[in-house]
Amino acid sequence: MQKAMIQKLRDKLGARYVLDKPEELAVYECDACTLIKKAPELVVLPRSAEEVAFVIQQCNEHKVPYTARGSGTGLSGGALAMQGGVIISMNRMDRILDIDPRSRTATVEVGVVNAWLNEALKPYGLFYAPDPSSQVACTLGGNIAENAGGIHCIKYGVTTDHILALQVVLPDGNIVWLGSKSRRSHGPNLVGLMVGSEGTLGIVTQAVVRLTQKPEKIRVYLAAFDTTRDAGAAVSSIIKSGLMPSALEFMDAFTVKAVNQAFHVGFPEQAEAVLLIELDGYGSQIVHDELKLKEILEEHNVSQVRIGETEAERAALWKSRKATVAAYGRFLPAFYLHDCVIPRSQLVPILEKINEVAERYDITIGNVFHAGDGNLHPNILFDPDDAKMVRNALEGGEEILHACLAVGGTLSGEHGIGIEKAEYMSLQFSEASLDKMKLVKQAFDPTGLSNPEKIFPMRNGCGETHRATTPALLAGDGLWI
């Protein structure tokens, strides 16, 4: 990278906010869970949209690729600098600019951590609904890039359902606003296009988000089952009944054991499956919903039911759920997962397939996921120093993905495509569909410098490509787990 460009960036942003030392760049070479490790050539930390625009203009002038990054909690490699170049870290842009209780909106910079916003909203009786498991660390910019979900997405939707307007620095360096705080806009839905585009169409710098009134009453049920089949049937019956839980989460026996050992929460370890079910509402409606839920659970042979009524009890249950990945670390040091979404009617057959894959490949898989909307999270545990275990994790994971797609599933529910799933896109989409998506990318980013090598396949035959990376991974040529 040209020294003249680096000096211009230091003059504009300040020398301390332009990083190029190897030990500084190493911090940005990976995300939370990806197969690929790649360091950038430079990291910049802008403080405003104007500074982001200046960085992009310099990158355009010198033909240098760039990638936006938040807290690095992503799970598909979307924020990795695959062609080197510049990582634009958005963490300094961390201000909550406005909270408007009357219109139930907030205007925020994208470096704001998800949990910070909800803490600031408490005095107003409002909350921002999308709450990924990494809520205490992930930034809203990353949530927007990946269209993140969370435990409450079954009732309240994912990120795109809560974004009203976006300030975006386009790949040509122009700063634009898309959408409207008034909830009405004209022309194509460019906000919807930008959410989930993983920084390939531009860099979001501010967002106007929709806020939700806190419900009057909240109850969280822990329901234990002796069989996965009973738990899966209960999920289907809850949805079929017309109940609308605000959360409906599944944990398998191994996950329950891991959480108990790590956090001593007293989950029933004799159960083969546990559901965490949250109901919220107002007045007599929640009483009616609780009675209906209890009937359904009993119909499906629930073996134990606990209720979290106080805020502290509910917080403890959800903290345990969100910290399951950390709990897995007590067994093996690394994990790999897919996050396919499948029809809820296929939960039990796919879980049986996952168990069969785990046995055949001799790997440990912990299942914890958003059962209410069929968003699976099979966590495949392994030791990075065990070459055979690494290979089995990759091949077993690919087989699970194929099984999910075969029953009408999709590649990702909230973790995004990034680099990790890019080579699988041709399994779900036709060549014609992918070509149209690429045309959209080209319209926004004709130079291809904005987060290159993400979302779209780089080679033909994704399965062959993924298998081809495995020997390279084991040889240590830049790929890792």
pLDDT digits (tens, 9 = 90+) for 454-479: 999 986 433 344 444 433 333 333 34
* Residue 379 reports pLDDT greater than 90: yes
Last residue of a domain, one of 63, 89, 115: 89
pLDDT higher than threshold 90 for residue 255: yes
Q: What is the pLDDT of residue 34?
A: 63
| One-letter identity of residue 322 | K
The first and second tokens of residue 284, run together, are: 């007599």
- Strand segments, DSSP code E, in 20-77 are 42-44, 66-69
What pTM was computed for the model?
A: 0.92
Tens-digit pLDDT profile for residues 432-452: 999 999 999 999 999 999 999
Task: List beta partners, residue 336.
Answer: 380
Of 93, 100, 83, 94, the residue nearest 42 (C-alpha): 83
Identify whether 56 is part of a domain: yes
Q: Domain range holding 256?
A: 217-322
Is 223 found in the same domain as 182? no
Q: Is the pLDDT of residue 323 over 90?
A: no
Least confident of 7-21, 22-36, 115-129: 22-36
Average pLDDT over all residues of the chain: 92
> Are 27 and 77 members of one domain?
yes
pLDDT at residue number 480: 36
Instruction: Give SS3 for 127.
Output: strand
* Residue 480 placed within a domain: no
pLDDT digits 0-9 by tens, 17-33: 999 999 999 999 999 87
CA 353 vs CA 168, 349, 400, 415: distances in Å: 43, 6, 7, 22
Cβ burial of 270 (10 Å; 0-12, 13-18, 19+) is exposed
One domain, residues 147 and 229? no
> Does 397 share its domain with 447?
yes
The answer to whether 244 and 189 are in contact (CB under 8 A) is no
Q: Are residues 223 and 311 in the same domain?
A: yes
Q: Of all helices (H) and strands (E), which one includes residue 475?
A: helix 462-475
Across 140-166, average pLDDT: 96
CATH of the domain at 122: 3.30.465.10
- DSSP type of residue 208: E
Same domain? For 110 and 185 the reply is yes
61 within 8 A of 8, measured Cβ to Cβ: no
Helix (H, G, I), strand (E, B) or coil at 313: helix
Q: Is residue 481 part of a domain?
A: no
Q: Where are the alpha helices (DSSP H) in 300-415?
A: 311-322, 324-328, 347-361, 387-406
Looking at the fold, whether 284 and 412 belong to one and the same domain comes out as no
Q: Are 349 and 258 within one domain?
A: no
Domain co-membership, 396 together with 466: yes
Residue located via tokens 């990083």: 19
- 42-44 and 302-308: which strand pairing? unpaired
> 430: domain CATH number?
3.30.70.2740
The CATH number covering residue 37 comes to 3.30.43.10
Q: Which of 371, 413, 377 is nearest to 248 (CA)?
A: 371
Backbone angles phi, psi at 367, to 5 degrees: -105, 120
Query: Residue 481 has what pLDDT?
Result: 34
Same domain, 454 and 343: yes
Task: State the pLDDT at residue 311.
Answer: 87
Q: Give yes or no: residues 274 and 183 share one domain.
A: no
Looking at the domain assignment, is residue 406 inside a domain?
A: yes
* Tally of domains within the chain: 4
- Specify the pLDDT at position 459: 60
Name the nearest CA neighbour of 32 among 88, 91, 92, 79.
79
Residue 478 has a pLDDT of: 37
Query: Token digits for 311?
Result: 């805020």
**Each residue of 157-170: pLDDT tens digit?**
999 999 999 999 99
Q: Do 408 and 299 reside in the same domain of the chain?
A: no
Lowest mean pLDDT among 57-61, 68-72, 245-249, 477-481: 477-481
